[in-house]
Structure formats: structure tokens, C-alpha cells
Amino acid sequence: MIDNISSSKVFSGWHKQYSHQSSVLNSAMRFAIYLPPQASESQKVPVLYWLSGLTCSDENFMQKAGAFKAAAELGIAIVAPDTSPRGEEVADDDAYDLGQGAGFYVNAIQAPWQQHYQMYDYISAELPELIEANFPVLSDKSIAGHSMGGHGALVIGLRNPEQYKSISAFSPICNPMNCPWGVKAFTAYLGSDKSLWQQYDASALITQHNVKQPIMIEQGLADQFLAEQLNIEQFADAAKKANYPVEINQHEGYDHSYYFIASFIEKHLAFHSKALLNQ
């Protein structure tokens, strides 16, 4: 059962927010969906799943990215989940980069996180099943994200090539095993066994898969987190060694903000439409 929180018409489609009780996360969860005007009982549309970054919710992308006009023209639905379970009963941390708002799209196995922080299963299984059961959408889907969400999109997309037709990311955390954000989160959620960390590291995963989905990455060269946290060079090197073609576009002057995302989101929607709509 899903409960509608809000509905707003935009570019002849609808942006809607919903809450539901997640059996995977053992808590209430919220997501937003944009349904383009083509979506109807007689016509189902493909879906792009968007994963947001640290401190974000379902609202950041929907309110700031400026994606609705292109999505309406292309006939693609967009689903934006929250970045973690939330609530008084859900474990949290005082820091912004751990706990609520910082789920890192992994299945936690360490206390006190394991009861609720099963974001990998939520994004890759429970949420798509819920969306496809309740909205006029196809099972055809792609995945994208920003920063921590870019990490999530790369990991979930690479680990599930049969599910996602294309992958894209803005300023992704490409090698979390070797950056402060990733080491902190993985130690807390997964423990000290780094073989478990590799399951959630795009730079490790890209060397292990023969199925080569289209991947596109945008990176701003004025990004304040580029040097210490994102490790895009490691991902590019791993992809090259694996003979995996990845389009990495670097841009002078752009930072880590949604101004950067808004500047190139239409390009990414067009990229996904080629895979989703066979254009």
C-alpha cells in the first residue's frame, strides 16, 4: 500500500510524492515520481531511477535538477527515492556522512545499522516492484545518481546488468574503498572485511563484468570533493584495463552542486532514452 503525499502538474505530466511501509528497511519510506504526459492506462513508459547524495532526500533532484521538460518530451518516468530510512526508531549518527541521509546504497550487516539500512535491496528489488505494480510503467529501466548516489547508481547498475539498460552519474564516489567517506561508511555498515567492501566499489566491480552497459559520467573540475573523495581516475583506469568503454566528460569551472546537474541533465536523459526507447 502506498499513500499519496502531494501531486503537482508540471509540463503536462505529474510530480507526486508517496510514502509506504518498506518490508526491506523495516520502516516507513518516501519516494517521488514524475509521470510524463505519455503515461496512461493504455501506454506504459520506461523509468529512470535517480539516486541522490549525502544529506539529500527525494526532493533535491525533483526540485533543483530541471529534468521535467526533457522527461516529458522523451516520455520517461523518473523515480527518486530517499537516501536512507528515517524515523526515531532508525539508527543515526551526529555526522552528516553516516546514518540517516547517508545510506550509501549498501546492505548493512553491522549493529546497529543492519535492522534498517538495507538500501541496496530496497533500490534494486523492493522499490522497482512497487513502482511497476502501482504506476503505468514498463520494466525497462535505467539508473543515475549524484555523488553518493552516483556511487549507488554505478554499483547497482553494474551488479544488475539484466535490470538496467544504461547507467549515468554526476560527480560519483568511484572508489569508496579508498576515500574518507567510503571508508567511514563501509567500516560502520559492513565491518572490517574489505572483500565485502569490494561488492560496493564501482572501480572493483567494473573489472568483473562481461556485460557492457552504456555508462556516462559528468565531472566538474572545480568540484571541492574531486581530489579527496571521488577518485574518478581510479575508475577510469579500471575501466580501461577491463576494456569497458565509459564516457567520462570533464568540465572546467563546475562544482559539486545542483547547478552542475541542471547544466547537463537533459544530456543524460537523452543518453538514457537511447537505451530505454531504442532510439
Which of the residues 223, 268, 272, 273 is marked catalytic?
223
Average pLDDT over residues 234-255: 97
146 is catalytic: no
d(C-alpha 100, C-alpha 104), whole Å:
10
* Superfamily of domain 2-278 in the CATH hierarchy: Alpha/Beta hydrolase fold, catalytic domain (3.40.50.1820)
Q: Work out the mean pLDDT of the chain and round it to a whole number.
A: 97
256 is catalytic: yes
7 is catalytic: no
Average pLDDT over residues 40-45: 94
What pLDDT is recorded for position 128?
Answer: 98
Cβ-in-10-Å burial (0-12, 13-18, 19+) of 13 comes to: buried
Which of the residues 22, 147, 168, 273 is marked catalytic?
147
Q: Which of 38-42, 230-234, 265-269, 275-279 has the lowest mean pLDDT?
A: 275-279
Kindly report the backbone phi and psi dihedral angles of residue 139, in degrees, each rounded to the nearest multiple of 5, phi listed first: -80, -10
Return the C-alpha cell found at 229: 573523495
Strands (E), 152-220: 164-170, 215-220
Average pLDDT over residues 256-278: 97
Query: Contact at 8 Å (CB) between 158 and 202?
Result: yes
pLDDT at 13 > cutoff 70: yes
Give domain limits for the chain: 2-278
Which of the residues 256, 268, 272, 273 is marked catalytic?
256
Cβ-in-10-Å burial (0-12, 13-18, 19+) of 129 comes to: exposed
Its pTM stands at: 0.97
Return the C-alpha cell found at 126: 523492493
Comparing 251 with 212, the larger pLDDT belongs to: 251
Structure confidence by residue, pLDDT tens digits, 103-161: 999 999 999 999 999 999 999 999 999 999 999 999 999 999 999 999 999 999 999 99
Query: Contact at 8 Å (CB) between 63 and 155?
Result: no
> What angle is formed at CA 95 by the lines to CA 91 and CA 98, rounded to 5 degrees?
50
What pLDDT is recorded for position 209?
Answer: 76
Strands (E), the chain: 2-10, 13-22, 27-35, 45-51, 77-81, 137-146, 164-170, 215-220, 247-251
Which of the 8 DSSP states describes residue 236?
H
* Residue appearing with cell numbers 539529500: 56
pLDDT level of residue 279 (50, 70, 90 thresholds): low
